[in-house]
Structures are given as structure tokens and as C-alpha cells.
């Protein structure tokens, strides 16, 4: 429960950051809890994060501004561990170093500055620029689908992976992001439709793709999909072929039995007629 001082201070800061947001930063408090803030950092140009949409939260203590918030970034970035508390001089890891004069905009500007550096701390990870660019390209998809766990589909785009590549174990399908950022969520889905992004995998599906949306084809792709390579693919392919053969036999086994029976009778008659003629 926020103190009256914290509520007054955070209300004032929301008005200020809404009127004049810092570059590449937007933020707002949750409707139900003014101590829970949601932010979006847009990856700055000429960085590995360029164009990325990085969503995170600031959880303020009830006695803010006399103590700092817990800082998390939920969107995978290749810079921070998703949804992990970050150890920064502006976070709750270092309450004694926090300056009450610092505002939300100051905190988020410091976070963006740290993100674009290579300094390491608790909650940060190492990755190549190439890897971080790949993460950046998939941030909108990740935010709006909960890492591939959304049941929503895009017309004309048939998923080749029912589980999703890199899907999080307890993904919410993008519900929380959509609740906090409805306009951005709508924009993200529009971009995914235009680029034909598979909601389950985050991968672009070519317009002339051979993907079929028939249940049989989808089932076959699921059996052959996944991360198996080399021998694993061959084994899986052989199993699919055997299953297909077994399915054919189960459907036509009675026809085969009848054919063999009548064939036996026909051969027996021919043999009997040949024997009697002699």
C-alpha cells in the first residue's frame, strides 16, 4: 500500500513523463496499483537493439522516493535475463545509493544507458551483437504472443510448430502485455500480419510457402519438426513412414484378406480342373 507521499510523487511523475517522455522511453503505472509501473524501451539506432520493443516493470516500495524500485525487463534481449531483478545503482539492490531526487524518467534513462553498455551485473548476460539483433527482431512477436503461447492465428499463415520456438513454459499468450499496452499490441499484430509472421514461432512464412493447413500435413510437420538434426531426423522420418504404412494396413486389411481368400479358391479350381482333364 503506497503512502500518500508516494502516491502524490508518482502521480506527478506520470504527468511529467506523459507530457515529455525521454528519448526511446514510455511508461505508465498500472491502473490498479500505482506502485507497479510498466515501461517500453525502444532500441536506439546504431545499437544491436535498434527498433526492438523491450517491455519491463518497475515495482516501487511504499515509501518511494526514499527507496528505489525493483527493476525487471521481461522481453528477451540478449542483455538481461528475462523477468529477473537487475542489480543497478538505481535499483532496490542498492537502497543506500539511491537519491530521492531521481525520478522515473531518471531511472529508465539510466537503465537504457546501462543496457547499451557492456558492463556486467546481476541479471545481465553476454551475447554477440548478431544474437542481440535477432532478439530485437523478435521482440514485438514475443511481447504480443507471450513467447509463442498465444492461440491467436493469422489468416493464410499456417504454423509449422504447435509449441512454438523458444516458447516460455508458463506463457500467458500475451494477455498481460495486451492489458498494459493495447495500442502497441494491436500495432504488433498488424506488423505480424503484414510480414506473415507465424504466431507460434515468430518466423516469417513466405507467401508462396508449401505449408498446408490440412490436419494431416500439420501432423506430419509436427512429427518431423523440432530441433532434431542428422540421425534424429532420419529416425523420425522412418517412424513416420512406418506409422503411415501401419495406418494403410489397418484401413485395408480386410480387403487384403478377402483378396487372398478368393485368389486361393480360384487357384484351387484351376488346379482341380487341370487334374481332372488328365
- CA-CA-CA-CA torsion sign (115, 120, 122, 124): positive
Residue with more model confidence, 206 or 43: 43
Q: What is the pLDDT of residues 217-249, one digit of tens each?
A: 344 334 333 333 333 333 333 333 334 344 444
Q: What is the Cα–Cα distance from 216 to 181, expressed in whole angstroms?
A: 37
Q: How confident is the model at residue 85 (pLDDT cuts 50, 70, 90)?
A: very high
Q: How confident is the model at residue 78 (pLDDT cuts 50, 70, 90)?
A: very high
Catalytic residue among 87, 134, 137, 165: 87
Q: What is the pLDDT of residues 53-75, one digit of tens each?
A: 999 999 999 999 999 999 999 99
Q: What is the pLDDT of residues 174-233, one digit of tens each?
A: 999 999 999 999 999 999 999 999 999 999 998 876 544 544 434 433 433 333 333 333
Strand partners, 57: 38, 72
**What's the pLDDT score for residue 158?**
76
Q: How far is CA 245 from the centre of its chain?
A: 36
> Order of strands across the sheet with 53-59?
25-29, 36-42, 53-59, 70-73
**What's the pLDDT score for residue 156?**
86
Q: How far is CA 110 from CA 78, 82, 95, 117, 209, in A?
A: 18, 18, 16, 11, 44
Q: What is the pLDDT of residues 96-108, one digit of tens each?
A: 999 999 999 999 9
The yes-or-no verdict on residue 258 having pLDDT over 70 is no
- Alpha carbon dihedral 110, 111, 116, 121, in 10-degree steps, equals 110
So what's the architecture of 4-115 in CATH? Roll (3.10)
Q: How far is CA 23 from the centre of its chain?
A: 26
Taking only Cα atoms into account, the Rg of the chain, rounded to an integer number of angstroms, comes to 30
Helix (H, G, I), strand (E, B) or coil at 184: helix
DSSP secondary structure of 93-158: T-GGG--TT--HHHHHHHHHHHHTS----TTB----HHHHHHHHHTHHHHHHHTTTT----BTTB-
Helix (H, G, I), strand (E, B) or coil at 254: helix
Q: How confident is the model at residue 19 (pLDDT cuts 50, 70, 90)?
A: very high
Mean pLDDT, all residues of the chain? 82
DSSP assigned state of 165: T
Contact 98, 70 (CB under 8 A): no
**What's the pLDDT score for residue 229?**
33
**What's the pLDDT score for residue 217?**
38
Q: How confident is the model at residue 257 (pLDDT cuts 50, 70, 90)?
A: low
φ/ψ bin of 246: left (φ > 0), alpha (ψ from -120 to 50), beta (otherwise) = alpha
Contact 207, 196 (CB under 8 A): yes
Tell me if residue 87 is catalytic. Answer: yes
Q: Considering the entire predicted model, what is its pTM?
A: 0.74
Q: What is the pLDDT of residues 95-144, one digit of tens each?
A: 999 999 999 999 999 999 999 999 999 999 999 999 999 999 999 999 99
Amino acid at each position: 500500500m503506497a503512502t500518500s507521499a508516494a502516491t502524490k510523487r508518482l502521480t506527478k511523475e506520470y504527468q511529467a513523463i506523459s507530457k515529455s517522455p525521454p528519448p526511446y522511453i514510455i511508461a505508465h503505472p498500472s491502473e490498479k496499483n500505482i506502485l507497479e509501473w510498466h515501461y517500453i524501451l525502444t532500441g536506439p539506432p546504431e545499437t544491436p537493439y535498434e527498433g526492438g520493443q523491450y517491455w519491463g516493470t518497475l515495482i516501487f516500495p511504499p515509501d518511494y522516493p526514499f527507496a528505489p524500485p525493483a527493476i525487471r525487463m521481461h522481453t528477451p534481449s540478449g542483455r538481461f535475463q528475462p523477468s529477473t531483478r537487475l542489480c543497478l545503482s538505481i535499483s532496490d539492490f542498492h537502497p543506500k545509493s539511491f537519491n530521492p531526487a531521481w525520478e522515473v524518467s531518471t531511472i529508465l534513462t539510466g537503465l537504457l544507458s546501462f543496457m547499451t553498455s557492456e558492463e556486467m551485473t546481476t541479471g545481465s548476460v553476454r551475447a554477440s551483437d548478431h544474437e542481440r539483433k535477432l532478439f530485437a527482431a523478435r521482440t514485438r512477436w514475443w511481447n504480443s504472443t507471450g513467447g509463442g503461447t498465444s492461440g491467436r492465428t493469422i489468416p493464410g499463415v499456417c504454423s509449422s510448430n504447435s509449441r512454438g520456438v523458444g516458447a516460455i513454459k508458463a506463457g500467458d499468450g500475451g494477455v498481460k502485455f495486451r492489458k498494459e499496452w493495447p495500442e502497441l499490441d494491436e500495432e504488433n499484430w498488424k506488423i505480424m500480419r503484414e510480414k506473415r509472421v507465424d504466431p507460434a514461432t515468430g518466423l516469417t512464412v513466405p507467401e508462396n510457402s508449401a505449408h498446408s493447413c490440412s490436419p494431416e500435413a500439420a501432423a506430419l510437420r509436427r512429427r518431423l519438426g523440432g530441433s532434431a538434426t542428422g540421425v534424429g531426423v532420419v529416425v523420425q522420418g522412418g517412424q513416420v513412414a512406418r506409422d503411415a504404412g501401419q495406418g494403410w494396413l489397418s484401413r485395408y486389411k480386410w480387403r487384403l484378406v478377402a483378396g487372398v481368400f478368393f485368389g486361393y479358391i480360384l487357384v484351387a479350381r484351376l488346379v482341380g480342373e487341370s487334374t481332372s482333364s488328365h
